[in-house]
Chain A
């Protein structure tokens, strides 16, 4: 199997699973109880919280465990919006956010909030000057993803954080793709809220984190018991929490070396594709991008067809084509960087992790040109342009 879809999810690390296992078996205690079994669970959570806090450069009291990146995004946006609606009802985000942000913003618009969606350039990065111009007196929140899940473009979060701080606006960043792939320090970048999830960093699914800077005025999303210091009700997913703690510890260790390894693989892959396949466009910024992200469009072909052929050869990858998303339009991110629909339909995303090797990239490069040519040979768009 050749797995090139690490931005969708990653394989759980053995070390992570080993740390989780006791909490899925013998150490099953509810962390809210007073007997030894419960205490064990409680200290495991405490330990994981410290690991996460260390990775983000914050206090462990500012870490809240959730069920997913999506929940963290929902909580950050709805929680801040509803708690601060008397101060203002304007939110700024970008056109290329994950649906967990965009659909939450659409919901908030229905609730009477106003949302500005910042455009991005061809490289998939916002213009700071445009952001400054869009800030209003009633802006309460800026939410900009740290790195894009499709095209890997990295946003200037430190600059954004500085502006947000100067203007007294909360700054949230969806760092689901960024954690473990780049250094993040919530104080250095003046981040007030940050979301990420376990399964993108070789941890388990069903667990996420929301960092909330101390003092941020935020409503609860889930109401119920007093877990997570009365901010996030529901019995703690102890195994998941232990898992994300270990995963974030491993993912942020040796990050420099890991980045170097992935950038080398990425560049080899991009260069190989451009050398072997004509009429190919690289999407996203060539420098300011996630170390393991390759995103290209092959003109005249459609992405799902490409993925099916790759799958037959044991290669897993993804595409922003409409047919792979169950929607009628191709990816909103590819359209936002200005690609015409027919080109956006032909996109391929290769997202690599530390487990990918040069040999795997070689294999991909050895089969990809033939598949693209086969599809082009049956495409009326290609025949017309030939």
Chain B
């Protein structure tokens, strides 16, 4: 097994933006308990920008760290910019992930996309 980078360990030990947002504008939940990873992303949107974001994660060190990192990457960004952030960027921002953990960064990307989709759906009318 490969070791985690210091950045991963920092985000794992001190995750940023943990929690729920009451009255969130969009919520995305991905993963499933069978695989041992569930991420739930809450976003608050103002003038097309992600004003606030919080997450809850059930999962391994990489799952927590990627959730934490992606919240930092998308905070303050426009929805389009947030949708553009790829799992690769998340992994790079964490100074890399062990190959077997790459799916965790995928999950983080999907969670953000699901939250934005949820926001868009709610604001279609």
Contacts and interface: CB of A to CB of B under 8 A. Distances in A.
A381 interface: yes
Contact of A378 (B36, B37, B64): B64
Contact of B1 (A302, A326, A378, A383): A326
A308 B9 contact: yes
Contact of A305 (B12, B33, B35, B38): B12
A321 B101 CA distance: 14
Given A322-B36, A342-B36, A378 B18 contact: yes
Given A305-B61, A308-B12, A312-B13, A380 B36 contact: no
Contact of A302 (B13, B15, B60, B101): B60
A326 B60 CA distance: 12
A302 B35 CA distance: 10
B58 A304 contact: no
A267 to B, nearest CB: 30
A345 interface: yes
B9 A302 contact: no
B56 A305 contact: no
Interface string A323-356: 1001010100000000011100100000000000
Contact of A326 (B35, B59, B100): B100
Interface in B35-70: 35-40, 55-64
A33 interface: no
Contact of B60 (A321, A340, A378, A379): A321
Contacts of B35: 322, 328, 341
Contact of B36 (A309, A321, A326, A377): A321
A300 interface: yes
Contacts of B121: none
Contact of A341 (B4, B19, B34, B56): B34
B20 interface: yes
Contacts of A312: 13
A322 B63 CA distance: 13
A377 to B, nearest CB: 8
A305 B35 CA distance: 14
A166 to B, nearest CB: 43
A309 B9 CA distance: 10
A304 B13 CA distance: 13
Interface of A: 300-302, 304-305, 308-309, 312, 321-323, 326, 328, 330, 340-342, 345, 377-383
18 contacts: A301-B58, A302-B63, A305-B59, A308-B12, A308-B61, A309-B13, A323-B60, A330-B36, A342-B36, A342-B58, A377-B18, A378-B18, A379-B38, A380-B58, A381-B38, A381-B58, A382-B58, A383-B56
Interface of B: 1, 4, 9, 12-13, 15, 18-20, 29, 33-40, 55-64, 100-101
